[in-house]
Structure 1
């Protein structure tokens, strides 16, 4: 309840503040001295839909915790998207005016040599400060609007393949060249029956001819009903050795208030059953030994293990029972924080596969450089990490949650090739 209240208060304050500051800016840049309630200045408030968004947020957010319908998540995410398309550009408009306005003021007072200009000598092109700031405001407001709109229209389904080759001296000869495809964070309720787009994902994965497919959690937002109808898509995934999956923090129904423990337990069991229905072998604090030509490797999976407020159901010791002597081991653990907390200090898993972060569905990646707000929340948030002889790969997710968009952080299909040799990694 406290989180709901603070989210509500925060949104109210942010919305009112931005509208108030922007309104003052409009008046400041006006050549007139208008009545605050006459057109067009009064229209700023008439058409400012802050009140609607504030109350809509309160209603939708409170319903998410008690609803038994995944449709509410769809309504909520589109509400959030509409809000962001309006208020993020407003914020950029105001900030751009303040920053570049000061720059413009300095440039008009001094010449290139740092000397004070004679303002009326006719040597410099004249542009009024108000016109300059108006143009700046339009540009700075347009950039986030266009980016978000692109993230909705194209970015959320602009699937990206990420290739990595890893070498291990203890990988059995029979598994040299093993190809693993990892996907994560489907959030089927948010996808809202976009079967055609996910069928494209299946084609992209099958074209890689994977030996193993790993799904690293968050099949749904909250409810097993979200899985209904997806069999026709995901049962078409093909892997020579097998398809394995684990649970994510959203798969336990913890983000809803249930009429009874029995109903919550039934929802959880139905979600577990859905993994098998979609063609995956669910590893809940369990492992599976894979044998080929007399050689063996192990695939293990833990239930969700995260730092608060994320649930902690994972039992690494239980998941590792019976595979202690297997020469090469792979672990699936939804939350990458688990790797630093338990996997590296306590085990010798060669490769851990995680998801969870989505890369915040927003960021920048260019020629080896990557940035996202996710880095301020998670130590390991996207891509490949190494600690001595152990590796972690964090998948950026296929689906989306909260906002139906991805900006600079496309949905990911990870392809990892394992080879036998000196310990090394080669992102391709």
Structure 2
């Protein structure tokens, strides 16, 4: 992860420090050697930290806490100085062009730097601990009479490795909230781990405690495969098999391009689960034909697909699944006034979307590879099915 952009990161660290040191600090009446050392020390530490993480074999270090600490420090040390330096340079250019003396860029940069520090601290603490329970109603004439009022709880993108240590209390709160909804069915829409199945070990009893009348159905997300570690094929296959085995050990029905019928009296609905199929470089294993094998065209189908882009690309044109549940986007863990940068990448990134009588719900998830959220709080979604008059 860091290795992909380490040159940019190093330049942000070093150039900002050089600029502020030479153009501002040296102009102070007294700028003693120890003060200069004090100024440079955080940047030097962050510079070395960046180099160390660059040599990680995998997408992230095995101890994810090392990456999380780095990103926090980068957010409160490097980015604020970079923002200040950019604003200061622009302000200096304005002064030179208009022949003025007051560099208002310094003030703007200072305000932005302080705001950045506040955002990082809030998002890494209070923001990441918040939990929203979103309620949605889905109306369709295809909902069987016996399933009118049927309650489904969706949770997604757990990224369990992020919850190890003191953050485990957040996960306990989320699992408790899911059970408190007394759902008929619980569905998990992928990304249980960050990188490897050993992240699950501490949480086996907790995840096994999830309870719904019709159990838990789950699918795999892009992080649940072995594409985020550098290892031989034997190790990768073993990791995938272990993750699959663990999910089933929880008592979950893991659907790998497969489906499951849920019955109520003489009525039934079908829960179908696709394997992951995402952007270039991510696992592409979805097979909608296999997932719907044996399904009658008259059945109500609840489709689980980790990446919401599958909805328009494959599910709408190649099936008649009435309701699709996805995750994956996390809303990029940032949302303000209803806008998220995820909207630049995804047509559907968070919430319920309709296309005629069919719908897609995208959960912004309940975790993240990085423990940070602003606006796009951890969420569970309670979806109630309603039979609409024909």
Same fold by TM (over 0.5)? yes
Counterpart of 2:186 (choices 204, 207, 213) is 213
Alpha carbons 1:222, 1:256 under 8 Å: kept: yes
Deviations 1:172-202 (A, max 9, x none): 1110111111101111112114332222112
Structure 1 residues 95 and 388: alpha-carbon distance in aligned structure 2, compared to 1, 3 A threshold = farther
What is the 5 A alignment of 1:218-229? 218-229=191-202
Cα separation, 1, equivalents of 2:247 and 2:17: 47
Alpha carbons 2:157, 2:367 under 8 Å: kept: yes
What is the 5 A alignment of 1:16-415? 16-23=14-21, 25-26=23-24, 30=27, 38=33, 40-41=35-36, 43-44=38-39, 46-49=40-43, 51-65=44-58, 71-97=62-88, 129=102, 136-193=108-165, 194-258=167-231, 260-364=232-336, 366=337, 370-401=338-369, 403-415=370-382
Larger radius of gyration: 1
**Ranges of 4+ aligned residues in structure 1 off by more than 4 Å:** 3-6, 37-43, 95-105, 132-137
Cα separation, 2, equivalents of 1:25 and 1:324: 73
Gaps in structure 2 of 5+ consecutive residues: none
Cα separation, 1, equivalents of 2:111 and 2:222: 40
1:165 match: secondary structure:
strand
Deviations 1:326-366 (A, max 9, x none): 421011111111112111121111111111111111221x4
Gaps in structure 1 of 5+ consecutive residues: 110-127, 424-428
Question: How does the TM-score come out when normalised to structure 2?
Answer: 0.89
Cα separation, 2, equivalents of 1:141 and 1:86: 9
1:228 match: secondary structure:
helix
Report which stretch shifted further, 79-88 or 179-188. 79-88
Cα separation, 1, equivalents of 2:282 and 2:141: 36
Cα separation, 1, equivalents of 2:356 and 2:92: 51
Structure 1 residues 373 and 301: alpha-carbon distance in aligned structure 2, compared to 1, 3 A threshold = same
2:212 match: secondary structure:
coil
The CA RMSD measured in Å over matched residues stands at 3.0
- Distance apart, 1:138 and its partner CA: 3.7
Number of equivalenced pairs = 389
Cα separation, 2, equivalents of 1:149 and 1:376: 25
- Distance apart, 1:161 and its partner CA: 1.0
Alpha carbons 1:166, 1:418 under 8 Å: kept: yes
- Distance apart, 1:380 and its partner CA: 1.8
Structure 1 residues 58 and 352: alpha-carbon distance in aligned structure 2, compared to 1, 3 A threshold = farther
Cα separation, 1, equivalents of 2:276 and 2:341: 22
Cα separation, 2, equivalents of 1:148 and 1:66: 22
What is the 5 A alignment of 1:417-428? 417-421=384-388
